[in-house]
Amino acid sequence: MLLIIGLGNPTDQHKNDRHNAGFWLCDLIAQNIQATFKVEQKFKGEVAKGKLQGHDIWLLKPSTYMNLSGESVGQLMRFLQIKPTQLLVVHDELDLAPGVIRLKMGGGTGGHNGLKSIQSHIGTPDYLRLRVGIGHPRDFVEKGSPHQEVASYVLKRPPKPEMELIEDCFYQFMRVLPDVLNDDLPKAMKELHTL
């Protein structure tokens, strides 16, 4: 079993924000495994369940806003009685360019408030993360764009060319999801990281 957490902020106001990259990928996975999200108040989020190649997949989009995501994650993990190693957290990553996606086990939070909340609620940094590149506003300042603060940058919609790059990396991940489910992380990482 794998519990995939998509990090983002709920409400229509935020659905197209860069910070919602985790929600976007969870929606794509749900579509591919014919799973439907349902609001689950006891888990403080939207939950979907399906199968891929005989493996159970649970999907969670917390409705607690990014900074409190751990509340939702902790509750569903306790209900499912799963270990942190059965968790995959999908989040936006400022330090990767749009279209770059990286899989890693464990590590720090990199200042990401959603990851901070999850680690405080599950008590360990030892879980799988899928880092979805959204670029950093400093990268665009160098290209002549006006300076943007990180907070306002992540809460904005990416331009169409960037969104297409992000969507392409989602499809790359879908190709290696069976490897992740089969615990063949080296194979999944090799394919994702050499694109």
Strands (E), the chain: 2-6, 38-40, 45-52, 55-62, 87-93, 101-105, 128-133
Residue type, 60: L
pLDDT band (50, 70, 90) for residue 150: confident
pLDDT band (50, 70, 90) for residue 62: very high
Beta bridge pairs of residue 142: none
pLDDT(116) > 90: yes
Q: Is 14 marked within a binding site? A: yes
**Domain positions in the chain:** 2-183
Q: Is 147 marked within a binding site? A: no
The mean pLDDT of 64-72, rounded to a whole number, is: 93
Complete DSSP assignment for 91-109? EEETTS-TT-EEEEES---
Burial class (CB in 10 A: 0-12, 13-18, 19+), 156: middle
2-183 topology per CATH: Rossmann fold (3.40.50)
| CB-CB contact of 65 with 111 (8 Å) | no
Q: Is 67 marked within a binding site? A: yes
pLDDT(142) > 80: no
**147 is annotated as an active-site residue:** no
pLDDT computed for residue 149 by the predictor? 84
**Catalytic, out of 19, 91, 112, 136:** 19
pLDDT(141) > 70: no
pLDDT band (50, 70, 90) for residue 143: low
pLDDT computed for residue 169 by the predictor? 96
Mean pLDDT is lowest, of 76-90, 148-162, 180-194, for 148-162
In the chain, the percentage of residues whose pLDDT exceeds 90 is: 84
